[in-house]
Amino acid sequence: MVTAIVGADWGDEGKGKITDVEAAKSDIVVRFQGGFNAGHTIVNKYGKFALHQLPSGVFYSHITNVIGNGVALDPDKFIAELKSVTDRGVPQPKIMISNRAQILMPYHVQLDTYEEERLSSHSYGSTKSGIAPFYSDKFAKIGFQISELFGDEAYLREKIDHVVTLKNVYLEHLYHKPSLDSEKIYQTLMHYKKILAPYIGDTFEFLRDAVKDGKNILLEGQLGALKDPDFGIYPMVTSSNTLAAYGAVSTGIPPYDIKNIIAVVKAYSSAVGAGEFVSEIFGEEADELRHKGGDGGEYGATTGRPRRLGWLDLVASHYGCRVQGATAVAFTVLDALGYLDEIPVCVAYELDGKKIESFPPTVDLKRCKPVLVKLPGWKCDIRGIRKFEDLPENARKYVEFAEKAIGVPIKIISNGPSREDIIYR
């Protein structure tokens, strides 16, 4: 059985925790897009971890963790992250990286950083991890596929020269920065070849066999539907598809084999970086929610930046669940709302004086205002509750209200950061 866990909104919905819980039942956990830019927070018996590139199954010795070909792999950061996990007592995990994955190069990080500097106030709010230059190069066919490191030296050197010629035009003439040197790039790639060698495999064959053998496979998404380059708030999006459908591209698993798609929706909204966010709140109201939200506040797992906060946006979440093809919803961080007398929820947008319930493209989204309704709060701590029936009536009503608007069954409710804080319906 293949299950995908993906974000319905702007990311940081709590996918890490849900994946961690679901991973226990899996044989294989796969990262299928993005790279070091995203962060999943996982709290378990070893402590609290922020995973960036490692699949969330690394805490279980029975799981094979796969990095699919759709991922932007930063080799040095991958090794460092692996070490940071094993240094804290986690047994050496089983990891397999697709030989068709591509390498995120140091110059991708540089170009990302220089471009954000150049754009200054008009920047994309990139994490400067090199993600956009990486995917641009992949589709311009000047990326380095891991398999190429193990191939013909003359071919690789020729390709490096070609890439260096192109990159140096930007570095010298647009950014006025030091240029790249072919020999140094070659040495860097050989260093990557050495450190990655123990982990490289044909993940396509491995996963196809696993599907045939009826193994439980979990595809874990990064960010959320609204950061998808096709369906999200373009151009303030990420550079790889964040949709469950892309799990098929990144693994070679047939799309029709992805039977369960769990979309994660947070009980309120948060976003990082720039971009449209209709139900956003500001000032003290936002500070309070930021402080009460998540596990110790809503701050980026990768960057530590304060996240932008807003009320639950049912227009966005309904849309996000549909583009993900959600078969179930995991509704997270419900506990954080326990301080509110009344909880505003965005049920529609007002666009040019008209009420709409669909999520429009960015040009129109810019003019949308939230239509809010207020639901009664429950004013107590709901952590520790294990059954839906045991939740306060107003908390149950809040969940049921969201479920009706989203149109997908909320089968999982998360009411605290740790593994045990979970309610199945």
CA separation for the pair 336, 135 (Å, rounded): 36
CA distances from 83 to 48, 76, 78, 90, 95 (A): 15, 11, 9, 10, 13
**Which one from 9, 20, 27, 40 is the annotated catalytic residue?**
40
In one letter, which amino acid is 22? E
Give the one residue of 95, 286, 333, 346 binding ligand GDP; rule: CB under 6 A.
Answer: 333
Window 33-62: residues binding Mg ion (CB under 5 A): 39
Residues binding ligand GDP: number (CB under 6 A): 25
Residue 323's Cβ-count burial label (10 Å; 0-12, 13-18, 19+) is buried
**55 touches which of Mg ion, ligand GDP, none (CB within 5 to 8 A by kind)?**
none
In the complex, what is the shortest distance from the CB of residue 283 to Mg ion, in angstroms, rounded to a whole number? Answer: 24
**98 touches which of ligand GDP, Mg ion, none (CB within 5 to 8 A by kind)?**
none
Kindly indicate which of the ranges 25-33, 166-174, 329-337, 351-359 contains the residues binding ligand GDP, using the contact rule CB under 6 A: 329-337
Note if 40 is an active site residue. Answer: yes
Note if 12 is an active site residue. Answer: yes
**Which one from 12, 228, 335, 421 is the annotated catalytic residue?**
12
CA separation for the pair 75, 219 (Å, rounded): 21
Cα–Cα nearest to 279, from 355, 369, 352, 351: 369
- Integer distance in angstroms from the first to the last C-alpha of the chain? 20
Give the one residue of 35, 75, 133, 294 binding ligand GDP; rule: CB under 6 A.
Answer: 294
Give the one residue of 288, 295, 350, 403 binding ligand GDP; rule: CB under 6 A.
Answer: 295
CB 240 within 8 A of CB 6: no
In the bound state with ligand GDP, the residue whose beta carbon lies nearer, of 294 and 310, is 294
Kindly indicate which of the ranges 58-66, 148-156, 208-216, 412-420 contains the residues binding ligand GDP, using the contact rule CB under 6 A: 412-420
Kindly indicate which of the ranges 15-23, 116-124, 237-245, 318-326 contains the residues binding ligand GDP, using the contact rule CB under 6 A: 15-23
Give the one residue of 6, 8, 9, 12 binding Mg ion; rule: CB under 5 A.
Answer: 12
Residue 239 near ligand GDP by CB under 6 A: no
Phi, psi for 77 (deg, rounded to 5): -70, -35
Q: Count CB neighbours of 375 within 10 A.
A: 18
In the bound state with ligand GDP, the residue whose beta carbon lies nearer, of 30 and 103, is 30
Positive or negative, the CA dihedral 72, 76, 81, 83 is positive
Residue 14 near Mg ion by CB under 5 A: no
Cα 119 from chain centre: 25
In the bound state with ligand GDP, the residue whose beta carbon lies nearer, of 15 and 138, is 15
Largest Cα span, the chain: 69
Residue 350's Cβ-count burial label (10 Å; 0-12, 13-18, 19+) is middle
CB 57 within 8 A of CB 93: yes
3-state secondary structure of 411: strand
Residue 14 near ligand GDP by CB under 6 A: yes
Which residues of this protein are in contact with ligand GDP, per CB under 6 A? 7, 11-17, 38-41, 43, 294-295, 301, 332-333, 335-336, 414-417, 421
Q: Which residues are annotated as catalytic?
A: 12, 40
